[in-house]
Structure 1
Amino acid sequence: MSSRIPNALTIAGIDPSGGAGIYADLKAFSALGAYGCGVVAALTAQNTQAVTGVHTPPTDFLRLQIDTLFADVRIDSVKLGMLGTADIVATVADRLAHHAAKFVVCDPVMVAKSGDHLLAKSAVAMLKEALLPQSFMITPNLPEAGVLLDQRAPESVKEMYRAAERLRELLPLSSERWVLLKGGHLPGGELMDLLFDGDRMVEMPGQRIETKNTHGTGCTLSSAIAALLPQAADQFRPVEAAVRHAREWLLRAIAASDELEVGKGHGPVHHFHALWRR
């Protein structure tokens, strides 16, 4: 385990309820030993029940946020969340390439837990063309995998295997890149995620936790991985170790979520379950 505290950056949207987006990412970074930085790619009017509005900053200002931060702060990992439009995706991809960003974890946020769409259809092609080549890892759920592959979402573990293989083909083949395909939308009580680097397919099973408090789970998992990747460098199979640690931490955060009372819809997970004592 590296002794240097990593600086992790999230480029994503703002969820005022704190369950998803940048606020959730910063909580995950902090809970898992990373110093969090954030660049705002979108503002939302949102609570645990709905997204009622989205406002995106001018791309010139988005570029200025990224360049100003990288000019001063060593960034050890990057989590990408809600980017919203094709222009924003292209701007982020351009600046990450310019700054040679490390450990870019791309969570292709497309639909909120409430069902509201957060990524314009025109941005999907730009995501695949410009942003995925910059990504060290992508973390789609099954519906997002279907959109990225232009097919229906996988409905079984067997179909997940083929989808993970095809998703890996969207990433550069000549370097270490990873797909974490999340199987939370599979029917039944069991969970299965697949971690694939083009060679090894690692099955990561889990037990489904019965709770309505699942707002921001995708954001939180990807940011947890981004926090842990720079810290896992000295471990055996460091990427797998980071992902396993992040998943275990998230499952405990979901299990403890009923301790919180936030909103009337899909509530947030308890990011600080291991740190707060009642």
Structure 2
Amino acid sequence: MTYLPLTPPGQTPRRVMTIAGSDSGGGAGIQADMRTFAMLGMHGLVAVTAVTVQNSLGVKGFHEVPLDVIAGQIEVVAGDIGVQAAKTGMLASSEIIDTVATTWRRAAPDVPLVVDPVCASMHGDPLLHPSALEALKDKLFPLATVVTPNLDEVRLLTGIDVVDAATQREAARALHALGPRWALVKGGHLRSSAHSPDMLFDGTDFVEYEAERIDTGDDHGAGDTLAAAIASALAHGYEVPEAVGFGKRWVTECLRAAYPLGQGHGPVSALFRLG
């Protein structure tokens, strides 16, 4: 595949921030984001929102970072180092969502923001308090350049059960009505399709993407990796449809290179680029 351009040695690369939770198993969260940032030649910046107790078998618990610390991480980095794009992941609570939204409007209102509305882990363990769904829709979606929910998250956010291309379009319209510039409905969990179809919508036009469905049980962190790759492309000035297309190709290769880890699900792997 064609990668993003690399910055010459000694020159400052593009900076991309992840506002998300830490995965102690290293498969998802900020760990997955930072791997993708590094492999794509970006300088990764971090605002940690929560610390999970997590391994390949699931999430055993999590601790939320104090609100002033979350806001402070975003403000000091944006004010000093600068940010060309950002993505969100696990935000855990309505209070954290409100803090992130308020801080982002103040610190980096014109910077592209990819919102990955993480509601639960791949094992079904909750990573977002149910009361926070409304805050996610009301406070953060209107700030988003693009939102990237999986089909379980689409169902929670819109009430629509995506089963085919028609309901995928219906869900994209419903998500876009919540305020983001673009809505991406990922089709990796759409088992009725022989391929992995994604649908992007800007309120007027649909853009469809299709990729090979990679047969692997080791897909931990795929959503984080996709959002991180999209954010990296946006930092280079890509338009949203091109950035999403790049992210789709990137995560497909990461799925192809996924490896087993522990006794449960292993992670997608951005390390394929080292080969």
TM-score, shorter chain, exceeding 0.5: yes
Match of 1:17 among 25, 32, 38: 25
**1:232-274 Cα deviation digits (max 9, x unpaired):** 44xxxx222211111111111111113xx42121100111201
Structure 1: which amino acid aligns with 2:138? E
> RCO higher in 1 or 2 (8 Å CA, sep ≥ 6)?
1
| SS, match of residue 272 in structure 1 | helix
- Take 2:49 and 2:85, find their aligned partners in 1: how far apart are those partners? 17
- Take 2:156 and 2:100, find their aligned partners in 1: how far apart are those partners? 21
**1:3-60 Cα deviation digits (max 9, x unpaired):** 6731000000000111100011011111112110111000000011110011001112
Question: In the alignment, which residue of structure 1 is the partner of 2:251?
Answer: 250
- Take 1:245 and 1:204, find their aligned partners in 2: how far apart are those partners? 10
Structure 2: which amino acid aligns with 1:128? K
- Take 1:74 and 1:231, find their aligned partners in 2: how far apart are those partners? 14
* Superposition pairs of residues 35-184 of structure 1, within 5 angstroms: 35-99=43-107, 100-149=109-158, 151-171=159-179, 177-184=181-188
Contact 1:12 1:41 in 2 (8 A): yes
Instruction: Report how many aligned residue pairs link the two structures.
Output: 265
- Take 1:47 and 1:274, find their aligned partners in 2: how far apart are those partners? 25
Contact 1:21 1:81 in 2 (8 A): yes
Consecutive unaligned residues of structure 1, counting only runs of 5 or more, are none
- Take 2:160 and 2:207, find their aligned partners in 1: how far apart are those partners? 23
- Take 2:246 and 2:84, find their aligned partners in 1: how far apart are those partners? 18
**TM-score (norm. length: structure 1):** 0.91
Question: In the alignment, which residue of structure 2 is the partner of 1:208?
Answer: 213
| SS, match of residue 63 in structure 1 | helix
**TM-score (norm. length: structure 2):** 0.92
- Take 1:168 and 1:25, find their aligned partners in 2: how far apart are those partners? 25
| SS, match of residue 44 in structure 1 | strand
Contact 2:160 2:171 in 1 (8 A): no
- Name the stretch that deviates more: 38-47 or 241-250: 241-250
- Take 1:67 and 1:241, find their aligned partners in 2: how far apart are those partners? 29
Provide closer, same or farther for how the CA distance between residues 132 and 45 of structure 1 changes in structure 2, counting only shifts above 3 A. same
| SS, match of residue 272 in structure 2 | coil
| SS, match of residue 78 in structure 2 | helix
- Take 2:235 and 2:22, find their aligned partners in 1: how far apart are those partners? 25
For residue 119 of structure 1, report the CA deviation from its aligned partner.
Answer: 0.6
Contact 1:78 1:101 in 2 (8 A): no
Contact 1:7 1:75 in 2 (8 A): yes
Structure 2: which amino acid aligns with 1:158? A
Contact 1:77 1:101 in 2 (8 A): no
CA-atom RMSD in angstroms: 1.5
For residue 96 of structure 1, report the CA deviation from its aligned partner.
Answer: 0.4
- Take 2:264 and 2:91, find their aligned partners in 1: how far apart are those partners? 24
Structure 2: which amino acid aligns with 1:43? V
| SS, match of residue 224 in structure 1 | helix
- Take 1:74 and 1:54, find their aligned partners in 2: how far apart are those partners? 29
Consecutive unaligned residues of structure 2, counting only runs of 5 or more, are none
Contact 2:46 2:73 in 1 (8 A): no
- Name the stretch that deviates more: 130-139 or 180-189: 180-189
